[in-house]
Amino acid sequence: MAEVVLHSGGLNPPLVEGPTSFARITDDVCRIVENKPPRAWYVAMGISVTLTLILGVALYLLFTRGIGVWGNNQPVAWAFDITNFVFWIGIGHAGTLISAILFLFRQRWRTSINRAAEAMTIFAVICAGMFPLIHVGRPWRAYWLFPIPNPYIDMWPNFRSPLIWDVFAVSTYFTVSLLFWYTGLIPDLATLRDRARTKLARWAYGLLSLGWRGSARHWSAYEKAYLLLAGLSTPLVISVHSIVSFDFAVSILPGWHATIFPPYFVAGAIFSGFAMVITLLVIARRVYNLQHLITLHHLDNMNKILLATSLIVGYSYAVEFFTAFFSGNPYERFVFTNRAVGPYAWAIWTMVFCNVVVPQLLWFRRFRRSVPWMFVIAILVNIGMWFERFNIIVTSLHRDFLPSSWGSFRPTVVDFMTLAGSFGLFLTLFLLFLRFLPAVAMAEVKAVLPDGRQEVRA
């Protein structure tokens, strides 16, 4: 006789609220794809596509006239472009944390949010990857970054440079995230295939689902591969933002040359990424009536992570200042004094307010479970994290070692168009994802329902 052991939820609240069944979950998720999208989707798509077109104009100006259309110049040679790069790549990290790290820690609550968060990762990395490529000046030669035998220059990338490490880190991160996401999608694509009402949908989802049958053998290898991909993604996600921080930390520039950078960047990445997940899911769950799948309990948990990473980030800000003063190095001291009271002081205090002060509200359950409050807090964190990167980059560069080389940075209209346009690109891709792919991992949610959570002791 089979001895079936039902895991009780223990003290944890149910992961899916209200009356539910396997079929209900499928219906709730698939109807988003199968029915006509709500009016809000069209409005959001209109805005996003408009912003993406603005990005197109900004890139046209950049490619035809050169980097001079941006505000970058000596000594501030990196500005909005690299700020945006680090911002977007950081956003991606929450998706991998939710999909891989929380999976390894067996945090079952991740199942209803991981699909959307992983999609967000991929789109954020697309936006991020764009910035270094367009910043190289001649983007049609961007392939020189890769070690491809090249008859024009007959030389290789310099592997001692952190910038080339970054090329490998970001391209690996994108590829592995895509593989992980697609692996998770296969069974759900098969569900969409089996439910498809039109020939085109049947063909498209059929092609993408690779002929998945849900056979026990399929599941067995699938679960193994999923676990392995999670195990590979976990150190990967930590390595990616560490390597991004090496772009700064390996240089010998006061304000950049700090050993705390890798953990500080990783925590900041998770912090900003969770803020973005909350921002998007708060809207999506309401527009698509997914409140019973993405419950207040999920949002509460994400807010707790937001609070924890906010504290790590706040601690890092303090350590940076302490190290600068403790080092006794006059240049280090100057950079940090200048950050706090210099011409860009408004940027650092915006950052401290958004990233350290505001998230303290999340100590209180009332704020963690209030959708309007968490939405406002998450938006502020997004803003604060953008300014964090702006601070690190611009305030460290604008005062060079010699006062004769001092300068300042003033963004141009094209800078703002590119920044806004990258949000347009990101949101357009995310809205297309909501329209055509299952936004919640159905198979995984079913497996954590009480009826699905059984184990057999042989």
Map the footprint of another protein across residues 3-42, applying CB under 8 A. 4, 21-23, 26
Half-sphere exposure of 247 (CA within 13 A, CB side): 24
| CA terminus-to-terminus distance, the chain | 9
Map the footprint of another protein across residues 72-101, applying CB under 8 A. none
CB 241 within 8 A of CB 269: yes
Residue from the set 40, 57, 221, 341 that interacts with another protein by CB under 8 A: 221
Residue from the set 85, 87, 212, 430 that interacts with another protein by CB under 8 A: 212
SS3 455: strand
Residue from the set 11, 148, 200, 216 that interacts with another protein by CB under 8 A: 216
CA–CA dist 68, 64 (Å, integer) = 11
CA-wise closest residue to 84 among 249, 237, 272, 256: 272
Map the footprint of another protein across residues 434-453, applying CB under 8 A. 442-444, 446-447, 451-452
Q: Is 289 in the site for another protein (CB under 8 A)?
A: no
Would you state the structure tokens that stand for residue 152, as one six-digit string?
A: 């024009």
Sole window of 51-59, 187-195, 321-329, 343-351 interacting with another protein (rule: CB under 8 A): 187-195
- Nearer of residues 101 and 347 to another protein, judged by Cβ: 101
Q: Is 187 in the site for another protein (CB under 8 A)?
A: yes
Q: Is 169 left (phi over 0), alpha (psi -120 to 50) or beta?
A: alpha
CA-wise closest residue to 29 among 443, 447, 449, 439: 439
The DSSP line for 43-99 is: HHHHHHHHHHHHHHHHHHHHHHH-GGGSS--SS--SSHHHHHHHHHHHHHHHHHIII
| Locus of tokens 């520039």 | 253
CB of 135 to another protein, least distance (A): 20
Q: Is 179 in the site for another protein (CB under 8 A)?
A: yes
- Nearer of residues 168 and 436 to another protein, judged by Cβ: 168
CA–CA dist 40, 22 (Å, integer) = 28
Q: Is 232 in the site for another protein (CB under 8 A)?
A: yes
CB of 161 to another protein, least distance (A): 9
- Nearer of residues 244 and 419 to another protein, judged by Cβ: 244
- Nearer of residues 160 and 366 to another protein, judged by Cβ: 160
CB of 104 to another protein, least distance (A): 14
CB of 455 to another protein, least distance (A): 5
Sole window of 42-50, 76-84, 164-172, 402-410 interacting with another protein (rule: CB under 8 A): 164-172
